[in-house]
């Protein structure tokens, strides 16, 4: 099965036309499906749902990083707080050149650098912190943002992604309070708002809404976007980057997404939160993605 | 040593002064406040280096994790609160963001043990030695007096890796000097003796010295008092030597007997050189309000208890390892 081989393809991090992002996101989704199939366990839904955000964030020339010297002291930081969607981060880092894409095959296996939830101890390039106990990453991001803005006095940006169910953890609101208290305009907190968590719809398990108003009340610049619309994702992140050094307000992007986005039988179904595809499902998913790829190529020809 | 006229100074003062010393020698040292800065004396640092002090408020989970973020950005962050809150409210954060990340975060656990006094059980942390020492990568230090706390504070600030320092509120005998050696992981032998070893930490070290003096004067028993200030990594050699030379051990701590210093010592002894051990500590219960000295007396954290425990340990040693006889005696 050719679909189950990881190509060496990597993408540059540069300013690019919006119509180049679908192809990148598609590759990330393929990697998510394939690595989760190999793993035999893991979180499909959220990983697929955030593929578009990750494609723009890492490959649009917005975040400053250098895979061949990734610990550079002037890098921007990305902290994944929702550690369970590690497959999308791993796929992104591999396609950005942090490590060989073939290593995606080792996800969740004994001896792998691709731990089920990211671990710092295995020293995978691009991983800024361990994550998996929900709510902690965002406080780590706040610590980094304090360090860059108030101690080092650099213009380094800090990006973090939390889930929406994750906002049920009380400590995230401690972090929110702190971010605005210390005027962390260099912090960009992206909420993956798919309204799904393991037990069901987030608003049914424990209502977190209204979100926009909550973050505003905590002193954030808040913008709600369609997390699958490349134009909206790009312009929002670009605005953050351009304004961060002047801004005294932390930033929150509420990205409305669909869990399992891109795969017909997974889309918007919370039962796919923590389940991997079996072989048959993986083949079906990859076929759908390939069909989509052909459509994208055709569409780009017309454009 | 003058047992009558010993000066008393709170260990938290040593912590506060140690932080200032660290701040002077390393620009990267930063301190996070958890509201009670005047209690745990991070206020000294705040006054001296306001630009490197960040008030996080009453949010221990957040403060601990922010510290991890600062450490991941090359800083040496200290966060201190009452041990009841800086070891337990943030337990998950200590486990994942600090210990698993293996980052250079330093946690101060002040107002520990029953010597907090009147605040009562909620504020009397008696379980953190047991919790912190099970976390991989952590260093855990329980200093015994003011000078040692200051040295320990500086020492954990200079070493690389996650560390926890447990200290107290009330004034306690200041029996070490500025010259007394302090090395992380190397216990201090305070009195020489081969009859019984008393391994203690924190406030119980002084009580052990008093007990040793009385044992010598009243019974002619020479006790080896060991100040086991570093609970993790524990000083294996000093414990094994004590077991071999003395043949019996008493452990003493202002902490639950379950899983604390006594447990740590027992793990080493049982594996390497099994000898009878008597455990002095809090007997699996919560604290209560009272004055510090009253509570130490109430819970038997005194030299008299240590003397009785030493005599019992010696008896058990001398009767050999006849378990059946021993069990019969216990059941009498």
pLDDT digits (tens, 9 = 90+) for A176-223: 999 999 999 999 999 999 999 999 999 999 999 999 999 999 999 999
Judge whether A151 is closer than 8 Å to chain B, CB to CB: yes
For residue B267, the tally of other CB atoms under 10 A from its CB is 14
CB atoms within 10 A of CB B271: 10
Q: Name the residue of chain B whose CA is nearest to A74's CA.
A: B73
Residue of B nearest to A76 (CA): B73
SS (H, E, C) A226-294: ECCCHHHHHHHHHHHHHHCCCCCCCEEEEEECCCCCCCCCCCCCHHHCCCCCCHHHHHHHHHHHHHHHH
- State mean pLDDT over A25-47: 97
Which residues make Cβ contacts (< 8 Å) with residue B295, sequence separation at least 6?
A: B114, B115, B117, B287, B288
> To the nearest whole percent, how much of chain A has pLDDT over 90?
94
A70-124 confidence digits (pLDDT tens): 999 999 999 999 999 999 999 999 999 999 999 999 999 999 999 999 999 999 9
CATH class of segment(s) B188-331: alpha beta
| Candidates B74, B96, B106, B161, partner chain A, best to mutate (most A CBs within 10 A) | B96
Q: What is the pLDDT of residue A298?
A: 86
Which is nearest to A64 in space by CA: A14, A137, A118? A14
Q: Which residue of B has its CA nearest to A136?
A: B65
Structural domain boundaries in chain B: 8-173, 188-331
The predicted model gives B15-42 an average pLDDT of 98
A47 lies within 8 A of chain B by CB: no
In percent, the amount of chain B with pLDDT more than 90 equals 94
**Whole-angstrom distance, CA of residue A76 vs CA of residue A58:** 11
Residue with tokens 């509420």: A254
- For the domain covering B8-173, report its CATH number: 3.40.50.970
Which one of A124, A128, A139 makes the best mutation probe of the B interface by having the most chain B beta carbons within 10 Å? Answer: A139
State whether residue A73 sits within 8 Å of chain B by CB: yes
Instruction: Give CA–CA dist B262/B89, Å, rounded.
Output: 24
Could you tell me which residues are beta bridge partners of residue A162?
A191
A120·B101 Cβ contact <8 A? yes
A204: closest CA of chain B, how far (Å): 26
Q: How far is B290 from chain A (nearest CA, A)?
A: 34
**Overall pTM surpassing 0.90 (yes/no):** yes
CB contact under 8 A, A151 and B59: no
A139, B74: Cβ pair inside 8 Å?
no
Contacts of A176 (CB under 8 A, 6+ apart): A138, A189, A215, A218, A220, A250
Pairwise CA distance, residues A204 & B55, whole Å: 36
φ/ψ of B199, rounded to 5, equals -105, 115
pLDDT value at residue A2: 47
The CATH label, of 3.30.390.10, 3.40.50.12780, 3.40.718.10, 3.40.50.970, for the domain at A2-8+21-302 is 3.40.50.970
Question: Does this chain's domain B8-173 share its CATH topology with B188-331?
Answer: yes
Q: DSSP letter at A166?
A: G
Q: Is a pLDDT exceeding 90 seen at residue B329?
A: no
Residue B225: predicted pLDDT: 98
Using the predicted structure, report yes or no on whether residue B90 has a pLDDT greater than 80: yes
pLDDT at B184: 98
The mean pLDDT value for B222-238 works out to: 98
Q: CB distance A120–B67 less than 8 Å? A: no
B231 φ/ψ sector (left φ>0, alpha ψ -120 to 50, else beta): alpha
Query: Which residue, among A78, A140, A156, A218, would best test binding to B if mutated, counting the most B CBs under 10 Å from its CB?
Result: A140
Catalytic residue (one of B17, B60, B127, B207): B60
B323 — pLDDT class (breaks 50, 70, 90): low
Kindly list the residues from chain A whose CB atom is less than 8 angstroms away from the CB atom of residue B54: 146, 150, 182
pLDDT at A3 over 60: no
Question: What contacts B293, CB < 8 A, 6 or more positions away?
Answer: none
Q: Which residues contact A13 (CB under 8 A, 6 or more apart)?
A: A58, A59, A60, A61, A63, A65, A96
Q: What residue spans define the domains of chain A?
A: 2-8+21-302
Judge whether residue B223 has pLDDT over 60. Answer: yes
> Going along B233-307, which residue ranges are E strands?
249-256, 277-282
| CA distance linking residue B278 with residue B314, whole number of Å | 10
The predicted structure's pLDDT at residue A55? 98
Mean pLDDT of A241-265: 97
Q: Is B89 on the interface with A (CB under 8 A)?
A: no
Check residue B218 and report its DSSP letter.
I
Contact B61 A152 (CB under 8 A): no
pLDDT of residue B153: 98
What's the farthest any 2 CA atoms get from each other in chain A?
Answer: 54
Task: Please tell me which of the candidates A79, A119, A143 has its beta carbon nearest to residue B66.
Answer: A143
State the pLDDT at residue A296. Answer: 86
Q: Which residue has the higher pLDDT, A294 or A172?
A: A172
This complex has an ipTM of 0.95
Q: What is the pLDDT of residues B29-75, one digit of tens each?
A: 999 999 999 999 999 999 999 999 999 999 999 999 999 999 999 99
Distance from CA of B33 to the nearest CA of A (A): 12
Q: For residue B224, what are the β-bridge partners? A: B197
**Interchain pair B72, A129: CB under 8 A:** yes
Handedness of CA B192, B198, B200, B203 (dihedral sign): negative
A132 contacts chain B (CB < 8 A) = yes
Q: Is B207 a catalytic residue?
A: no
pLDDT in tens, B129-139: 999 999 999 99
Quickly state the pLDDT bin for B274 (edges 50, 70, 90): very high
Question: Which residues on A lie below 8 Å from B74 (Cβ)?
Answer: 73, 147
Report residue A106 as tokens. 């080792």
Predicted confidence at residue A300, as pLDDT, reads 82
């Amino acid at each position: 099965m050719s679909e189950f081989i990881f190509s060496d393809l990597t993408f540059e991090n540069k300013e690019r036309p919006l119509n180049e992002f679908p192809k990148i996101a598609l590759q990330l989704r393929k990697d998510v499906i394939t690595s989760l199939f190999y793993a035999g366990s893991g979180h499909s839904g959220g990983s697929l749902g955030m593929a578009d955000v990750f494609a723009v964030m890492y490959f649009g020339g917005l975040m400053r990083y250098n895979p061949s010297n990734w610990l550079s002291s002037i890098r921007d930081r990305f902290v994944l707080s929702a550690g369970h969607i590690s497959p999308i981060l791993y796929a992104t880092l591999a396609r950005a050149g942090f490590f060989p894409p073939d290593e995606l095959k080792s996800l969740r296996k004994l001896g792998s650098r691709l731990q089920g939830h990211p671990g710092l101890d295995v020293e995978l390039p691009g991983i800024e912190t361990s994550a998996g106990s929900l709510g902690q990453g965002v406080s780590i991001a706040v610590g980094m943002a304090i360090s860059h803005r108030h101690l080092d006095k650099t213009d380094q940006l800090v990006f973090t992604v939390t889930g929406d169910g994750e906002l049920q953890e009380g400590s995230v609101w401690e972090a929110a309070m702190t971010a605005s208290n210390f005027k962390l305009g260099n912090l960009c907190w992206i909420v993956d708002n798919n309204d799904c968590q393991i037990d069901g719809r987030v608003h049914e398990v424990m209502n977190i809404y209204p979100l926009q108003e909550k973050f505003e009340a905590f002193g954030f610049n808040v913008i709600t976007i369609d997390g699958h619309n490349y134009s909206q994702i790009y312009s929002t992140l670009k605005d953050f980057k351009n304004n961060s050094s002047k801004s005294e307000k932390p930033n929150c992007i509420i990205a409305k997404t669909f869990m399992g986005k891109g795969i017909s039988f997974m889309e918007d179904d919370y039962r796919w939160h923590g389940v991997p595809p079996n072989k048959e499902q993986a083949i079906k998913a990859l076929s759908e993605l390939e069909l989509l790829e052909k459509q994208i190529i055709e569409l780009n020809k017309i454009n | 040593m003058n047992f009558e006229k010993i000066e008393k100074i709170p260990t938290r003062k040593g912590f506060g002064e140690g932080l200032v010393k660290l701040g002077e020698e390393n620009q990267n040292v930063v301190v996070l406040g958890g509201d009670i800065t005047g209690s745990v004396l991070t206020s000294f640092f705040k006054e001296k280096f306001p630009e490197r002090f960040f008030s996080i408020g009453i949010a221990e989970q957040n403060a601990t994790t922010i510290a991890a973020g600062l450490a991941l950005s090359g800083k040496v962050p200290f966060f201190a609160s009452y041990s009841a809150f800086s070891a337990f409210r943030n337990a998950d954060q200590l486990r994942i963001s600090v210990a698993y990340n293996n980052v250079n975060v330093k946690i101060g656990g002040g107002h520990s043990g029953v010597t907090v006094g009147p605040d009562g059980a909620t504020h009397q942390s008696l379980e953190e030695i047991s919790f912190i020492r099970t976390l991989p990568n952590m260093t855990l230090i329980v200093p015994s007096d003011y000078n040692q706390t200051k040295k320990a504070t500086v020492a954990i600030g200079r070493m690389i890796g996650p560390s926890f320092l447990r200290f107290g509120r009330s004034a306690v005998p200041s029996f070490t000097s500025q010259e007394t050696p302090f090395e992380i992981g190397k216990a201090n032998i305070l009195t020489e003796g081969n009859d019984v070893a008393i391994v203690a930490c924190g406030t119980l070290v002084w009580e052990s010295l008093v007990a040793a003096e009385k044992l010598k004067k009243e019974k002619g028993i020479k006790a080896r008092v060991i100040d086991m200030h570093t609970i993790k990594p524990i000083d294996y050699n000093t414990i094994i030597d004590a077991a071999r030379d003395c043949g019996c051990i008493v452990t003493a701590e202002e902490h639950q007997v379950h899983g604390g210093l006594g447990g740590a010592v027992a793990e080493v002894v049982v594996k390497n050189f099994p000898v009878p051990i008597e455990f002095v500590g809090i007997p699996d219960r919560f604290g209560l309000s009272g004055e510090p000295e009253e509570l130490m007396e109430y819970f038997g954290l005194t030299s008299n208890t240590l003397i009785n425990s030493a005599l019992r340990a010696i008896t058990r040693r001398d009767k050999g390892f006849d378990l059946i006889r021993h069990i019969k005696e216990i059941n009498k």
